[in-house]
Structure 1
Amino acid sequence: MDLHEDSEKNIVTATFEFPGVKKEDVSIDVHNGRMTVSAESKISEEHDHDGYAVRERRFGKMSRTLQLPQGVTEDQIKASMSDGLLTITFPKANAESGPKRVTIL
C-alpha cells in the first residue's frame, strides 16, 4: 500500500496493488472510523504441451485496515480500480472536526 497526502487539496490517496485480481473480488468496508480493504485471489491455469499437463493454482486473501481521519463519512470515500491497481481517496480532515468553542450560559 502507498499512502499520499495532498495538503493543498486536503486529500489522502491510498493505492493498493492487486495483480490478477478482479474488482469483483475486492471489498472496501467502513465501520467505526476504520476502512478495511480486502481482496481474494483465485487464479487457476492449465497448460497442455507435448503430453504434459501443467496446472497452476494460486489462492490467497489480503486485508489491510486504516484508521480514517475523524469526521470522514462513507460518502466522502471514492474508489476506482484499473489493471489491478486500486485507488482510494478521502478527505484528510473534515472542516467540522476542528476545535469547537462552547458558549458558557
Structure 2
Amino acid sequence: MDPFSLDIWDPLDGLFNFSISDRETSQFANARIDWKETPERHVFKADLPGLKKEEVKVEVEEGRILQISGERKKEQEEKNDKWHRIERSSGKFLRRFRLPEDAKVEAVKASMENGVLTVTVPKPRVEEKKPEVKSIDISG
C-alpha cells in the first residue's frame, strides 16, 4: 500500500445495498490513477474517457493534498427510448493523494488529452554541488 495515498478501504462497503446500477457507477467512481516519480517530478495519469476538462477538477489542499475529482453524468432517458444495454458507467469520483515533502505544490500543472488527465508536480532542482575545498595556511 502506498504510504502517501489517502484511499480508505472499507471491507463492508457495498456489501449491502448492491443494486446493479450501484455496481455500474462504482466502476467510474473509483477512477484508476497511476502515480510515477522521476528524478524531476511526480506524474499522475488518470483515464477519464468521455469527460471534458471542464468536468474535472484538480486542487492542492493545505497539507500537500492533491485532489482530483469530477463527474460523468448519466445519460437522460427520454420517455419513448428503449434501452437494450447500459455498460458505460457514470457518477462522481474523488481521489486524494498526500504529496511528499519534495513536491513543489505551487508549480502543479494539469493537462487533458484524449481522455487522459496528466497532473505534473515538479520537484526542486537539485544543483550538483562541487566539493568545497578550503586552503589551510601552514604556520611555523
Under a length normalisation based on structure 1, what TM-score does the superposition of the two structures give?
Answer: 0.69
Q: Percent identity?
A: 33
Partner of 1:17: 47
RMSD: 2.7
Of structures 1 and 2, the larger Rg is shown by 2
Unpaired runs of at least 5, structure 1: 97-105
Partner of 1:53: 81
Deviation at 1:12, TM superposition (A): 1.1
Letter in 2 for 1:64: R
Letter in 1 for 2:81: A
Conserved 8 A contact 1:81-1:87: yes
Conserved 8 A contact 2:65-2:98: yes
Deviation at 1:73, TM superposition (A): 4.4
Aligned residues: 89
1:20-39 equivalent positions in 2, closer than 5 A: 20-32=50-62, 33-39=64-70
Partner of 1:44: 75
1:80-95 equivalent positions in 2, closer than 5 A: 80-92=111-123, 94=124
Deviation at 1:6, TM superposition (A): 1.4
Conserved 8 A contact 1:39-1:63: yes
Unpaired runs of at least 5, structure 2: 1-32, 127-140
Letter in 1 for 2:70: A
Under a length normalisation based on structure 2, what TM-score does the superposition of the two structures give?
Answer: 0.53
Which of residues 9, 19, 36 in structure 2 aligns to 1:4? Answer: 36
Deviation at 1:21, TM superposition (A): 1.2
- Stretches of 4+ moved more than 3 A in 1? 55-59, 71-75
